[in-house]
Amino acid sequence: MQALSVTPFKEKGNSIIMKEYKEIRNHLIAMLEELNLRLTRITNDVRHVDAPLEKDFSEQATQNENNEVMDYLGNSARTEIEMIKQAIAKIDSGQYGICQQCGEPISKNRLIAMPYADMCIKCAGKAER
Ligand SMILES: [Zn+2]
C-alpha cells in the first residue's frame, strides 16, 4: 500500500479538536503565566533579593525552614508548569483528551476541572489505589 503524502482529513480533524479545546487551551496558558509569576516570586524569596538573611541563629533556622517550604513550592510549580506545557502540546498535536492508560477519551467535564489530566477518571481511580 502506498502512503499518502497529504493527509487533509487528519488536519481537518486536528482543527476541530483545536476549536473544541480552544477555551481549555486559553485557560492553560493563563495558568502557565500565573505559575511563571508565582515561580519568579518564589525564586526571588529564596535568593533573598528583598530580605537579607537574618544573622541571629534561631531566626536563621526559621529562614532555612522557610527556604525548604519555598523549594517545595518551587518544585511543585515547576512540575505543574511541565504538565501544562505537555497538555498544550497535546492540544496542538491533536492528542489531547485521550487517556494515557486505556486510550479512551477523557470526559470534557474532567478536562475542564483538571485541564492537564492525562488519565480518564476510571484509570486515575485505579492509579490512586
Ligand atoms: Zn483510562
For residue 101, how far is its CA from the centre of ligand 1 (angstroms)?
Answer: 5
Rounded Cα distance, 129 and 7, in Å: 42
Instruction: Locate the domains of the chain by residue range.
Output: 1-96, 97-129
| pLDDT tens per residue across span 85-104 | 999 999 988 889 999 999 99
- 5 Cα–ligand 1 center, Å: 32
User: In terms of Cα–Cα distance, which of 83, 85, 73, 7 is closest to 46?
Assistant: 73
What's the pLDDT score for residue 126?
Answer: 92
> How far apart (Å, rounded) are the C-alpha atoms in residues 104 and 102?
6
Look up residue 46 and give its three cell numbers. Answer: 529564596
Report DSSP state, residue 49.
S
For 56-85, the DSSP string reads: SHHHHHHHHHHHHHHHHHHHHHHHHHHHHH
pLDDT in tens, 51-73: 555 567 777 777 777 788 888 88
Give residue-wise pLDDT tens across range 68-79: 888 888 899 999
What separation in Å is there between the alpha carbon of 123 and the centre of ligand 1? Answer: 4
How far does residue 6's CA lie from ligand 1's centre (Å)? Answer: 31
Mean pLDDT on 21-35: 93
* DSSP string covering 76-124: HHHHHHHHHHHHHHHHHHT-TTB-TTT-PBPPHHHHHHSTT--S-HHHH
